[in-house]
Structure 1
């Protein structure tokens, strides 16, 4: 497996691109338009969700400590409607980008993953949060564009090195076997061994020899389709799948 080594500049660059694309999508339709990829949500609810995430992250990273903050408020009470909601979202987005740009990634900051509690976690998380919800917003206007390839590759990595090890998967458990993901539009592939309640991200397939009889599945598609399928935005049928397709459900996080 080869990894994409992201950086603060890479993730902030993606955030600066995906944010305006999200705004452009929600500008094209009434805010009460349903979002097909997020059942029971409208564009307004998507705007409220993303803006509130930005506000909560800003509060979290400026605390300067690694203990868990108060839970993010999920109800929309007090959030603006109509054009004011878009202005509010824009203010939250601009403030987030400015803040993350000015912070040292090595500063202490809480995160929910089993990794270093540093500010550097959040530019990556916010880039992917915004990219996937940009895609969601575009499903409401029938003008969907894929996730940019390098960003999607890193997003797959985030699912495997962050979401699943943190216990945030939504697939059935326990599962046993090996999943091989192949991004057809770039030289990236991932091997994941499912071990009941746990999983291991493998660097190579060298141990998967003829003496290993674990059930296996190979899923091939563009990096964007792979990522969106892991998030449950598209079905695994958009991929080329051989082997036990049921194993793929264990990698879902959205």
Structure 2
């Protein structure tokens, strides 16, 4: 299959696992510890950023509105509140909201897909997982993202982030990229055409179809999604073919 169709319970379960792991890393790291995977950030910056994303989502998801909300603003911590406390409060609020949310309810999103609340349950699960990895890396850890979640994370980059134009670089790439998760029996074919992208449905691709894949990448699902998010280099994975196309897959 070209993508994994998660469910609300799956993504909420991921949030419930990744959130405490993020909090544990925050508790272990001094506030000014650099986050190596987010140059220029400390763990305080990371916690404030993620808590701010949670609070912003909380302002509009569940209202039933599909028009764009106000832009997310910079967060200033209340006096006497630590970044970890701010993050924890924001996380608890988000979990309470999403837990009672109908994923089919109307809700704005920035992607070229249906405006439904389920988008944000999925998005927050993956946002938290990647930043949990960032926080753990700051304390010389960085556990892999769970395989099923990472597999859906790869799909999210390919079916949501890139079609929405959320690339870290601009360019004119042309060709088919083949990604394969070695621990999940999952593969993806993505066609790049200039600024455009198209995720090919492997359920409808026949064995005799010629995909003309110009580059193939193999690795664990966790390594694939971390490479797509720019956390690790594609050079650490098994790459054959024209690696220059991989710059067109980076999101952020």
Tell me by how many angstroms 1:85 deviates: 2.2
Tell me by how many angstroms 1:122 deviates: 0.7
Structure 2 equivalent of residue 162 of structure 1: 160
1:24-81: per-residue Cα shift (whole Å, max 9, x none)?
00110111110000000000000100000000001021332100001000x33x3147
Structure 2 equivalent of residue 132 of structure 1: 130
- Unaligned runs of at least 5 residues, structure 1: none
Structure 2 equivalent of residue 32 of structure 1: 32
1:221-241: per-residue Cα shift (whole Å, max 9, x none)?
000000000000000011100
Extract structure 1 runs of 4+ deviating beyond 6 A.
none
* Structural mapping, 1:91-240, within 5 Å: 91-204=89-202, 205-206=205-206, 209=209, 214=212, 216-240=214-238
Tell me by how many angstroms 1:209 deviates: 4.6
What is the aligned residue count?
A: 250
Structure 1 equivalent of residue 11 of structure 2: 11
Instruction: Provide the aligned C-alpha RMSD in A.
Output: 1.7
- The 2-side partners of 1:148 and 1:87 are apart by 26
Conserved in 2, the CA contact under 8 Å of 1:28 and 1:141? Answer: yes
- The 2-side partners of 1:4 and 1:202 are apart by 13
1:116-136: per-residue Cα shift (whole Å, max 9, x none)?
111111110000000000000
Tell me by how many angstroms 1:3 deviates: 2.7
- Unaligned runs of at least 5 residues, structure 2: none
Tell me by how many angstroms 1:177 deviates: 0.5
- The 1-side partners of 2:16 and 2:79 are apart by 24
- The 1-side partners of 2:213 and 2:102 are apart by 44
Residues 194 and 207 of structure 1, relative CA distance in 2, 3 Å threshold: farther
Q: Normalising by structure 2, what TM-score? A: 0.94
